[in-house]
A and B are shown apart, each in its own frame.
Chain A
């Protein structure tokens, strides 16, 4: 086992632990993506379903760890885990369907609530782009001492990967960072302006608002981290500095995750259960396997996930596919341009 396997093993363990708790990180009245009675997850049958699912998750984690130790490519080990854990969730979903109840059908909207804004406003959203432009101008200015190389990959074992810092390479590196900043900005805007509210009034709505703000802060933090990495890359920061920064960032992300889990999905733990609607006011038939939301009539791009804490795509929206396509295709296009 070499040093590079350790982050992969830690990732697999972390993902295993998160999938272990995933069915509990939902709104009250949802279990394996199905609207059920609030008491059902704690019933004998509910606990039995959960136990079986967890056995499946840990078996998948064990197989994936064994594959990682046998020097299987990291992407493939993650795929092993995802397929195994995903398969173990399907019987639990089917069993939960037998205990399905109707979600709260009535949709409520507060007609006089003020519109929500991005924390920090437009400045917080656009500042990373300004920083990237300034960084580019500073590095490429004649007054700046010539940069020898740009680090493209910091290795835990062995030499870092780098390319010669031609103006084109610098621009390509900054463009890649800018691309990720655009993606994070779109996600932040999508959560605030392109997602549906579940609760309209009272403590439940206030909790939901706080939850959305925290998610957006989380996304903005990622955006600033991308800029920081670009800065470290063009200033040829050494490995230990970068690892220190990455560990610091991971700790901050972990703090955010804990805070989101404490809030509960959609801020559901911030208000008394009686104030919450049953489920998330969306119908079960739009949730494929209780995981993927597909509703062509719903204009929302993002909806609250039914498993775990956070948001997921509405796969029935064309814009979700456009965004997914851009996320997948654009880095490859940039790499192709850089290589050619």
Chain B
């Protein structure tokens, strides 16, 4: 699984790591038991501070995706499916999608292109 980070992007590197890994975890590219690079190794390869990577790993560990051990390193954990989100969380989720769409439109991405991408993602989701 290849993690891609753009240091010149407006999105914080920490956020890019978390989002990139979460996509791979949800999509099954990273399976339970898989070993991930150590904080030090990943920070070196990305050219970022150790704390940035540690923070990203901690966030995913908090979500239940990763197990951070002193000796065994970082491993993907078998994650139990959480309870369905409440209405408040769902509206927050909808707002985030709307924000993202607005941001992309502000950057000049055509609505037709966005709709195409969303349909493609929907197709993937329905397939799983």
Q: Residues of A at under 8 Å CB distance from B? A: 105-113, 115, 193-197, 200-201, 281-282, 295, 297-300
Contact present for B4 and A106 (CB under 8 Å): yes
> Quick one: which of A109, A195, A281, A298 contacts B2, CB cutoff 8 A?
A109
> Which partner residue on chain B sits nearest A194 by CB separation?
B44
B47 touches A107 (CB 8 A): yes
User: Are the C-beta atoms of A111 and B44 separated by less than 8 Å?
Assistant: no
Cα A298 to Cα B24 with chains together (Å): 26
Q: B4, B42, B47: which has the most chain A beta carbons within 10 Å?
A: B47
Contact assessment for B37 and A111 in the assembled complex, using a CB-CB cutoff below 8 Å: yes
Query: Please, how many angstroms separate the alpha-carbon atoms of A229 and B52 in the complex?
Result: 45
A-B contacts, 6 of them at CB < 8 A, read A109-B46, A111-B2, A111-B21, A196-B45, A299-B48, A299-B50
> Using an 8 Å CB-CB cutoff, how does the interface string of B18-53 with A read, 1 for contact, 0 for none?
000100100000100011110011111111111000
Residues of chain B with a CB closer than 8 A to A110's CB: 1-3
Distance of A127 Cα from B43 Cα, bound (Å): 31
Q: With a CB–CB cut-off of 8 A, which chain A residues contact B40?
A: 193, 299
A112 touches B6 (CB 8 A): no
Which residues of chain B are within 8 angstroms of A193 by Cβ–Cβ distance?
40-41
A297 to B7, CA, bound (A): 12
Residue from the list A200, A282, A300 in contact with B44, Cβ < 8 A: A300
- How many B residues are at the interface, by size bracket? 20 to 34
B5 within 8 Å of A (CB atoms): yes
The 9 closest A-B pairs by CB, nearest first: A109-B45, A298-B47, A111-B1, A109-B3, A107-B5, A105-B8, A106-B6, A197-B45, A106-B4
User: Which residues of A sit under 8 angstroms from B7, Cβ to Cβ?
Assistant: 105, 107
Interface string of B35-79 (1 = CB under 8 A from A): 111001111111111100000000000000000000000000000
Complex formed: what's the CA distance from A106 to B45 in Å?
A: 12
Main SS class of interface, B: mixed
Tell me the minimal C-beta distance from A323 to chain B in angstroms: 16
Asked whether A111 and B24 contact (CB < 8 A) given A106-B4, A195-B44, the answer is yes
Complex Cα–Cα for A210 and B73 (A): 25
B37 pairs with A109, CB closer than 8 A: yes
Using Cβ atoms and an 8 Å threshold, which residues of chain A touch B4?
A: 106-108
Q: Which residue of B lies closest to A197 (CB)?
A: B45
Q: Judging by beta carbons under 8 Å apart, are B46 and A107 in contact?
A: yes
Q: Are A112 and B30 in contact (CB under 8 A)?
A: yes
Which residues of the other chain, B, contact A194 by a CB distance below 8 angstroms? 44
- Contact A105/B47 with A111-B36, A112-B34 known, Cβ cut-off 8 Å: no
Known contacts A107-B4, A281-B47; 17 additional CB pairs below 8 A are A107-B46, A107-B47, A109-B2, A109-B3, A109-B5, A109-B37, A110-B2, A111-B3, A111-B24, A112-B1, A112-B34, A112-B35, A195-B44, A197-B45, A200-B45, A299-B40, A299-B44
CB-CB under 8 A from A195, the residues of chain B are 44
A249 to B6 Cα, complex, angstroms? 44
| Nearest opposing residue in chain B for A205, CB measure | B2
User: Would you give the shortest CB distance from B1 to chain A, in whole angstroms?
Assistant: 5
Minimum distance in angstroms from B5 CB to a CB of chain A: 5
Q: Give chain B residues whose Cβ lies under 8 Å from the Cβ of A295.
A: 47
Chain A residues lying within 8 Å of B36, measured Cβ to Cβ, are 111-112
